[in-house]
Structure 1
Amino acid sequence: MVSAREEILNKLKKAIHPEPEMPDFDAPVYHAIDKSLGQAFKENLEAVNGSVYLCKSEEELVEKLKTVLQNVPEKEVVCSENELQELLTKNGIEHQDYQERQQAIEAGITSCEFLIAHTGSVMGSSALQGARQMLVYPPQHIVIAKKDQLVDYLHTAYDKIQEKYPDQLPSQITLITGPSRTADIEKTLVMGAHGPRELHVFLY
């Protein structure tokens, strides 16, 4: 008859695992991206409740942007970057400068440094005009980017931002992956808790 002690020891022996295999340190850290960078970025950002618009031209971008802004009062659309202001003005999209705003802000339009396909992330920095406020303050954050700002992985984005600012990096580099959210209170997901409740990225 097996004693209780022997039974416990037998269970412990069976629970002992063999030596773990050594990890392959030469294996790729990231999984391969098996589709176009634009499509991968779209799928990964939309998986975390962002919206992505892949546009073939500036005209298509403007058309889709006007649709997103159709329910936003003109005086509550804000943009602080000169190049984007010119784009908006040329296409009849009313807006105000962040520094000159006189009313509440609903939608903030910015550019970005890079878009990261692997995680669906937007990289911004303090080098962008008004970026410290515009990346986090407006309830709707709208990003307008060009296809040459799209990269595969995070390490590529860091390499490129160092190339872009070789003498001194921006004091703040921000990664945005979807709208702001939290589930701290009773594990209920709340959007827009600490920043924008909506994130729209236009890529052309």
Structure 2
Amino acid sequence: MSSSRDILLARIRTALAAGPAPPLPVPDWAAPVHPPLPTADLTVTFAENFQRIGGEFFYCESRARFGAALRTWLAERLPPGQQLYVWEPALQQLLAAEDMPFQATEVDFRTQAAAGLTSCEALVARTGSIVVAPATASGRRLSIYPDQHLVLARPSQVVAEISDALRAVQARYGQKMPSMLSLTTGPSRTADIEKTLVLGAHGPRRLSLFLLEDDAENLA
């Protein structure tokens, strides 16, 4: 009967007779991590992923449609006595043209800012994320403090990957990059306590995107 020592030595001899182990495969560091997205359907891919992570998506083919969608949103979701804060001049001009109520200053911001409307830098189709920078008049607070964050964007801002979004920001600002970039992926959420999902833990509880077409009629 073979001893444990004999069995071990036999295994070693068998392994040595087989020759050296084959080399490990070399990773292709240049290959993409994810399969490429369909370029023709980036906007559709973004909309699907954005809604999958809890965002509200509104497609607006004209300024009139945008005004109607926002008016309905305010009627259904803005609490009584609260206001929609809009600090970017281009957005203020667009809302004024559609006769939409908004607060253009910081008056009573801490107590009445239930919602804030901002622009964005890019929309990432892969993750359904929105890239926001504080370089606009909205600053940092308007996309973080209100309970509900509204974003107005254009289809031309949709890019495939986060890296594409960063390149777009670099191309826009050059050497004067914003002090920070926020990659917003769905409403603020956490499940740290007893694995119970809580919305609005560290930022807006609701994230709503209005995608307004790029044609000349819609430009503010």
Q: Does TM, scored on the shorter chain, surpass 0.5?
A: yes
The reply on whether 1:22 has 2:26 as its aligned counterpart is: yes
Aligned to 1:90: 97
Give, as a single letter, the amino acid of the residue that structure 1 aligns with 2:108.
R
Residue 45 (structure 1) aligns with: 50
Q: How many residues align?
A: 198
Aligned with 1:153 (options 146, 161, 166): 161
Report the counterpart of residue 166 of structure 1 in structure 2. 174
Larger Rg: 2
1:28-177 map, 5 Å:
28-34=32-38, 36-71=41-76, 72=78, 73=80, 75-101=82-108, 103-177=111-185
3-state secondary structure, aligned to 1:100: coil
CA contact (8 A) 2:81 2:112 kept: no
Amino acid corresponding to residue 68 of structure 1 in structure 2? W
TM-score (norm 2): 0.81
Deviation at 1:76, TM superposition (A): 1.6
C-alpha distance after superposition, 1:45-86 (max 9, x if no partner):
111111112222222122112222113147421111111111
What SS is found at the alignment partner of 1:59? helix
Alpha-carbon distance in 1 for matches of 2:103, 2:2:
83
Deviates more, 1:176-185 or 1:102-111: 102-111
Partner in structure 2 of residue 200 of structure 1: 208
Residue in 2 that maps onto 1:183: 191
1:122-151 deviation line (CA, Å, top 9, x unaligned): 111110112310111111100001122221
Residue segments in structure 2 that go unaligned for 5+ positions in a row: 16-20, 213-220
Over the matched positions of the two proteins, sequence identity in percent amounts to 38
1:18 deviates by 6.8
Which whole-Å CA distance do the structure 1 matches of 2:2 and 2:52 have between them? Answer: 55
Q: CA 1:19/1:55 → structure 2, altered by over 3 Å: closer, same or farther?
A: farther
Task: Describe the SS at the equivalent of 2:46.
Answer: helix
Of residues 189-198 and 103-112 in structure 1, the stretch that sits farther from structure 2 once superposed is 103-112
For normalisation by structure 1, the TM-score amounts to 0.87
CA distance in 2, matches of 1:66, 1:4: 81
- Cα deviation for residue 101 of structure 1 reads 3.3
Question: C-alpha deviations, 1:142-166, integer Å up to 9, x for none?
Answer: 0001122221211111111111111
Q: Which runs of 5+ in 1 are unaligned?
A: none
